[in-house]
Amino acid sequence: MWKFVKLTGWSAVSVVFRTGSTLVLNKLVALSYGPAGITLLAHFQNLIALFTTLPNDGVNVGVIRFLAPEKPDTANFRSYLVSGLVLNLLIFILVSSFLLLWPETYFEPFIPGLGEPEKTGWFLAFFAGILLLQALFFVMTVWQAKQQLHWYLLMQIGSAAGGLALAASVAFSYSLPITLLAYLVGMGLPVLILGLWRWRKTSAAILKLAGQRKHFRQLLVFLGMGASVLISSKLVDFWVRDYMMNSFGVKESGFWQAAAKLSDNYTMAFLSVLGLAYYPQLAARLGQPASLKEFIRPVFWGLGAAASAGLLLFYFLREWVLLLLFQPEFLPAAKLLPYQLTGDFFKLTSWLLAYLTMAQEKVKLYIGVNLVSAALYGLLVWWFTQTFGLSGVVQAHFWRYLLFWLFLFVWFRKYLF
């Protein structure tokens, strides 16, 4: 538990920089482009997530799972490393091909007139930025698995600062699509400066390309689980946001996106704790049931109490926070926060148990729960927005994660008492 607390301290430093840069970016876009800009920022970040979800929530989770107990100079370490790298590259190629089949659906909100020759440069810069970002996350994954947290932290700070700096440099002089592109490229640049140099120092053995089919297949299991996350969160979020913009307009949808953006910031902080301090230790204890339970129980109830206290404080300060992070035009978003925050409590605490499902490689359970949850959410969004208007989307969010939490709580109750 003491080790968990120390690792949480590392993640807290990381979160301060990442959250701070995100808040400044939101404020920058809100001031420069208004509620419509916040909606398109969320849409763009969702587009990036279509590339990064499969690696981050699938392949890279498996890489951490299998690299954590291995020493860097072993054949198994090199094999898992190569297998993960190859899968990351394949994902980039497949997702790029998929999106380019329907460019109007995914890119039209950012660059109207897709067929014009001058738009080619935007596309090239976008895909180059995505490739850099995937490389950044993979390098950070290896450091995370081996608990080299000082290098992980330095890379994360560099990524947050780079994205914000490039976006700020063009925000007041260029259109929103250029600002978004600068944000993407800036986030990936640290992998060229720090990542490749440090990679050469610590993991040059990857050049031996010592991959094994067995290890490749093991990571494919995690890729399947990551695919369920991609479908149940990012693709569904893309559909919901498109539905909301068509139903309520870009500006009205911006109020909902402001509430969601606030949620994204503390969600990022929570996931940072899970990724750095929780999941690696969870994976290391899988072969020791007593130790696993002894670890999960205090973490689940402790983080649950912390999340509830933080969300309650956030609710009482909601109008002040909206004014600080956005501008007075966004105050209508305060009416959406009660359902948003309550749903977030169940979302955050349910992930503690969802990570256990992933670590134990309960593939059918993990994929099934995610897909059912996504289908339920899509149905509830349509039903509740027809009945309650704009607030229906946050009500759907609440009911989705309440039911998700209840299922996982009952399933894993033996670890909690």
Per-residue pLDDT of 242-257, as tens digits, reads: 888 888 887 788 788 8
Band (332; pLDDT cuts 50, 70, 90): confident
**Least confident range of 3-7, 83-87, 97-101, 372-376:** 3-7
Tell me what pLDDT residue 379 has: 92
259: number of Cβ within 10 Å: 26
Query: Residue 61 in contact with residue 279, Cβ under 8 Å?
Result: yes
Task: Please give the mean pLDDT across all residues of the chain.
Answer: 79
pLDDT at 223 over 80: no
The rounded percent of the chain whose pLDDT value lies above 70 is 85
Q: Which two tokens stand for residue 169?
A: 């440099």
Owning domain of residue 284: 2-415
pLDDT at 355 over 50: yes
User: Which of 129, 68, 65, 121 has the alpha carbon at shortest distance from 96?
Assistant: 129
- Give the separation between CA 135 and CA 53, rounded to whole angstroms: 13
Tell me what pLDDT residue 36 has: 75
Q: What is the pLDDT of residues 134-148, one digit of tens each?
A: 888 888 887 777 767
Instruction: Name the helix (H) or strand (E) containing 415.
Output: none
User: Which of 348, 380, 343, 350 has the alpha carbon at shortest distance from 366?
Assistant: 350
Better-predicted residue by pLDDT, 197 or 298: 298
Q: What is the pLDDT of residues 66-76, one digit of tens each?
A: 776 667 677 77
**Cα distances (angstroms) measured from residue 174 to each of 30, 80, 178, 189, 331:** 15, 43, 6, 21, 27
Tell me what pLDDT residue 205 has: 46
End-to-end Cα separation, the chain, in angstroms:
17
pLDDT at 351 over 80: yes
- Give the separation between CA 125 and CA 219, rounded to whole angstroms: 30
Band (199; pLDDT cuts 50, 70, 90): low
Which of 60-74, 131-145, 358-372, 403-417 is the most confident on average?
Answer: 403-417
Tell me what pLDDT residue 209 has: 46
Better-predicted residue by pLDDT, 299 or 231: 299
* 397 SS3 class: helix
Is the Cα dihedral 314, 315, 320, 324 positive or negative?
positive
* Number of domains the chain is built from: 1
> What are the φ/ψ torsions at residue 403 (nearest 5 degrees)?
-70, -40
pLDDT at 322 over 90: no
pLDDT at 397 over 80: yes
Query: Residue 340 in contact with residue 394, Cβ under 8 Å?
Result: yes
Task: Name the DSSP letter for residue 212.
Answer: -
For 343, counting Cβ atoms within 10 Å of its Cβ (0-12 exposed, 13-18 middle, 19+ buried), the class is: buried
pLDDT at 7 over 60: no
Query: Residue 132 in contact with residue 154, Cβ under 8 Å?
Result: no
Residue 280 C-alpha from the chain's centroid: 17
Quickly tell me which residue has 């699938």 as its tokens.
58
Contacts of 200 (CB under 8 A, 6+ apart): none
Task: Write down the pTM of the prediction.
Answer: 0.68
**Least confident range of 52-66, 306-320, 351-365:** 52-66
Tell me what pLDDT residue 206 has: 46
The rounded percent of the chain whose pLDDT value lies above 90 is 11
Better-predicted residue by pLDDT, 350 or 145: 350
250: number of Cβ within 10 Å: 19
Tell me what pLDDT residue 346 has: 94
Which of 9-18, 138-147, 364-373, 382-391 is the most confident on average?
Answer: 382-391
User: Which of 38, 49, 56 has the alpha carbon at shortest distance from 99?
Assistant: 49
DSSP of 264-323: HHHHHHHHHHIIIIIHHHHHHTTT-HHHHHHHHHHHHHHHHHHHHHHHHHHHHTHHHHHH
pLDDT at 404 over 80: yes
